[in-house]
Chains A and B, each alone.
Chain A
């Protein structure tokens, strides 16, 4: 049973517009959420994160929003650029989950295509 869900396998956006990637989770024990970006043949690269005590975190063009009551988070990219085209993974973590405090539970990813 997937605890972190990214229900959109792909998203296509025009350059300069906003990209919104969504993620839902089921485990209320998750207290830290991250977004990773992955290019083909490379490992995931950390993008931005948010603690469960916050509802928004912003870093340049990237903003993550967390709605705990809905168990939903989203990543906003404004403005979108062609270089943002990649697979974006949502991940979550809970204290002492599975015995360690650092292992991440990933969604299946959303492939973002930003068209010039």
Chain B
């Protein structure tokens, strides 16, 4: 079956531009996570949705980052006024239930954002 998909796969933005990154989770998966992976680092948690509710946004690095999942399926991560330090791979993951780490998270291929 279809896995988690993300688009675009690569995005180049000029500093100050706004970007929107899309995640299509596995159909029927309740939980959706966004992670940021800087070069040479492991993924770092950004935010978590259970259906359409954003239950945890403690990892968002600044108020320039905004995520939504209005219908409990597709999610969009928006970064306003991009800065060079925002350059990273943005990973989306979904899980069937997601209320515990034992519920496997399935990751998409990521969007590589480069801010010039």
Which residues of chain A have a CB within 8 Å of any CB of chain B?
4, 6, 32, 34, 36, 41-46, 49, 51, 89, 91, 93, 95, 98-109
Q: B24 → chain A, closest Cβ, in Å?
A: 13
Q: B39 → chain A, closest Cβ, in Å?
A: 11
Residues of A close to B48: CB separation below 8 A:
99-100, 102-103
Given known A-B contacts A4-B42, A100-B55, A43 and B91 have beta carbons under 8 A apart: yes
Q: A110 → chain B, closest Cβ, in Å?
A: 10
- A44 close to B91 (CB less than 8 A): yes
* Interface members, chain B 73-87 (any A CB < 8 Å): none
**Chain B 92-107 against A: per-residue CB contact (8 Å), 1 yes, 0 no?**
0101001111111111
Given known A-B contacts A43-B108, A44-B107, A100-B56, A108 and B42 have beta carbons under 8 A apart: yes
CA distance A24 to B48 in the complex (A): 25
Residues of B close to A104: CB separation below 8 A:
43, 45, 101, 105
- B42 close to A42 (CB less than 8 A): no
Which of B4, B44, B107 has the most CB atoms of chain A within a 10 A radius of its CB? B107
Give the total number of A-B pairs whose CB atoms are below 8 A apart.
75
B40 within 8 A of A: yes
- B91 close to A103 (CB less than 8 A): no
- B40 close to A102 (CB less than 8 A): no
Given known A-B contacts A4-B42, A106-B42, A41 and B91 have beta carbons under 8 A apart: no
- B109 close to A102 (CB less than 8 A): no
- B105 close to A107 (CB less than 8 A): no
Residues of A close to B43: CB separation below 8 A:
44, 89, 104, 106
Residues of B close to A43: CB separation below 8 A:
4, 91, 93, 107-110
CA distance A73 to B110 in the complex (A): 27
Q: A44 → chain B, closest Cβ, in Å?
A: 5
Q: List the 9 closest pairs (A to B, CB-CB), nearest first.
A: A106-B42, A43-B107, A93-B101, A100-B56, A103-B45, A99-B56, A32-B101, A100-B48, A98-B58
Residues of A close to B102: CB separation below 8 A:
32, 49, 51
CA distance A78 to B4 in the complex (A): 30
CA distance A27 to B30 in the complex (A): 28
